[in-house]
Chain A
Amino acid sequence: MSIATGKAGTSELYMGNEAIARGALEAGVGFAAAYPGTPSSEVIATLAEVAKEGEIYAEWSVNEKVAMEVAAAASFAGVRAIVAMKQNGINVASDFLMNLNLTGTRAGLVLAACDDPSALSSTNEQDSRPFAKWADLPLLEPGTFQEAKDMTRWAFEISEEIRNACMLRTVTRVSHARGDVELGELIPPSKEARFTATSPVDFTPYPVPFKHHQMIAKLEKARELFESSPFNRYVGPERPELLVVTSGACWLYSLEAVKALRAGDRVGILKLGTTWPLPEKFVQKHLARTERVLVVEEVAPFLEGNLKELVGGHLADAGQLTFYGKRSGHIPDSGELNPDLVAKALGSVLDLEVEGVSPEYVQKAQQLTGSHTHMRAIGFCAGCPHRASFWSIKNALKLDGRGGFVTGDIGCYTMALGPTGYFQVKTVQAMGSGVGLACGFGNLARTGFEQPVVSVCGDSTFFHAAIPALLNGIYNHSNFTLMILDNSATAMTGFQPHPGIGKTATGETTPAVDIEALCRAMGVRVEVTDPFDLEGTTEKLLELLRDDGGVRVLISKRTCGLVRARQGEPDYRVHIDPEKCRGDACGCARLCTRVFQCPGLIWDAETDRAKIDEVICSGCGVCADVCPAGAIINEAI
């Protein structure tokens, strides 16, 4: 069942991102683009699934800036368009965005920005909301799944009304949570796409001061629209002792916290759906009815700062007003919120305590379970080609012996920071940054630098942002080895296709870009290896490390273990020969389980032997080459 089949008036369980996609369909969206990134990926993935039946266009773009550009083109031609990205993606798209805002738009253009407080699946927990303020674009924050759908539909209308892009910001707990949503009617997209410029500078930021002035006027128009928005709501007493001002996911946490403290007669909640520009009159009306304000929000003190700015601009009308929030320390300065943290903040302002579980139970639970619940660290899956690649990287760097190290990048292989990648990755920043850093390290010879540098990046990351850095290295005579961990998937975000796969977002066949040929065309030495061939990969890498001078590329090519598992039978049935495995008497110090660390290979304390967990083992057979006693047997299936 797809998001296009649900009938108007019925309720369905939708993920927040599905609700956004449905809202776009109910607005007659005709064009959708994104580069995948958790927690945003399902917005466009869901639209791609229904693209054919809905007669819309959907694509996985090569990166977020291009995604924003292709979507803007659709808007310029009169077609409603949506573009989605995670918080880091906004940075990539921002160069275009900071010119698009001056240029303006024609048909509705919605930018869905999905943030990840606590960085559950990210390298940072950046707040995208200040971008809306910076770019002078209207900002909406849905608090429920219903709002995610309805506000998306509304965002297209706002965009058309003011002729600029509209930003819709969610967080993981909206985008990647699920809830019931009552559906509306679907509208087919416009079929009259045509680009018509009424003046030579119509679709440019020129003349800049004039367009800047116009952009601010557009934002003022949005503010007027926001004053009467049903997405801004107040619940509570006429004159609350404390006013909670909140938005997005924090709204439901706040409602629950007030209920848990039984403080509904003392506390009012002002929930804002339109957080930039603030609906000033509406907000001031509520601020005037209280003397204390608690701002409940995640990541940056964005609302808090804007409220204080508003109050500061009307000091003559402002009475006694005390603010509590991130600045006062009542709300944590980092990490995501939850009902418990909001209740704690409310409790400390109101001098109330939440009634929790009995301390006896908590103590007993800790006592009984504490010794068993040690951390379960994340790591590479059974059958993952990255584990094999990093095994060879570790060995090659050791054999080379010059203190070589790995600059990392964004993808599953970032987990090589940890034990299942043997702690090999030493740097992680943005998409493609591992290659950029390698370019720099590789040009430090004049200042005494002698260590070999290996940069790793995945196939999707290579297309996204690593190509310019690789070119930079070649052009500037840098000295490093780029190892492309080509697992033929954007694995971390859900196996989306990319330019190297030969399939588009909607499943159509397209020519696959050959990474090897592309690198050769840039004029570098290129080798290809199968990571499951541990010996061959180690040898090739070692040889490239020793081939000092210039940039070398090693493509480590093997499909993602999860994709292979979906495609069919495993290669081998793996078992342990109990005669050959001598357990702790071997002298290998449990190389297989203690060092190689595949979840499919466990240690049986009773028999003092390694053991295959047949539920988890994917049958890749790599561990057979790790065992010095030859006790791990690969039986061909």
Chain B
Amino acid sequence: MGERIPLIRMQNIYKWFGKVCALNNADFEICEGEIVGLIGDNGAGKSTLIKILSGVIQPDRGEIYYRGKKLNRLSVKDMRNLGIETVFQEQALIDCFDVGRNIFLTREPIIKLGPIKIINYHKMYEKALNPLKALGLGVSPKQEVSFCSGGERQGVAISRAMQFKAKLVILDEPTRALSIQGVRQVDSFIRKLKEKKIAVIFITHDIHHVFSLADRFMVLSRGKKILEIEKKDFTAEDLENLLLKVSEMKK
């Protein structure tokens, strides 16, 4: 990593849900323009880690640094203001809202009339077309999300991350429920992010898919970082075998 200051550094993170320890002294860091594949079995703590990084939940212990500066109890809004965008596994969509409203929810374009801030729907639907077109989605920004297919829903969730100027994009199982064309569009989106020096955390179960995109891999098991490897040192098969061994050790 040299002497580069990481964009994000998470140190000694602990999180308990009742008696269950979801994260047990977990560390993580990512630099600008880097793609990190976050790998682990179900319940390894991947989603908990990114929810902490997104501000959705707070860690019970541990520190988070942004460009070397310590952050204290930050909310989703604060994290988004820092340029951390997340595509959650749950997609975080409001089914009864249309596509445009879902992309811009809480960050709708506004017109200021003195102290009153009015949502500019015209601009919102116009701007919503850009990420939808970039992902090759034929869905209208005015279509209700509950009437979208699984792939379209995932596309809407990704469009939300594309719309705003991000420094770090977290993708939790982003290609789940996507068609081959959709997967290619997401891959191309991730590569474009890298070109723009935007960091990406890519969480998936598909080792071969993440291997083709990521620069570095971090393996979590039972809430702990058990392995961190550079892509150049391993092949996808090596990584797969390692994960199998980790699974067997757990049993």
Interaction A to B? no
Taking Cβ atoms with an 8 Å cutoff, the residues of A that contact B are: none
